[in-house]
Amino acid sequence: MEPISEKFVEKTWQEVAGFSTNRAIKEMQKMGKNQPDLLAFLMALIEDMDPEVRELAIYIAFVVYRIFEGSQNKIKKITSKEIIDCYEYNEDLIGKLEGADEKFIDRIARIQISKQPYVMKYVVEALMESSEEGDDVVLTDEDSGFLFLLLKTLVDLLDKKTY
Task: Specify the pTM.
Answer: 0.88
What pLDDT was estimated at residue 130?
A: 58
84 three-class SS: helix
Q: What is the pLDDT of residue 154?
A: 97
3-state class (DSSP) for residue 18: coil
Phi, psi (rounded to 5 degrees) for 75: -115, 120
Q: Could you read off the pLDDT of 32-80 as tens digits, one per residue?
A: 999 999 999 999 999 999 999 999 999 999 999 999 999 877 899 999 9
Q: What is the DSSP letter of 87?
A: H
Whether pLDDT at 81 is above 60: yes
Per-residue model confidence (pLDDT) at position 141: 87
Query: Could you report the per-residue pLDDT of 149-160, keeping only the tens digit for each?
Result: 999 999 999 999
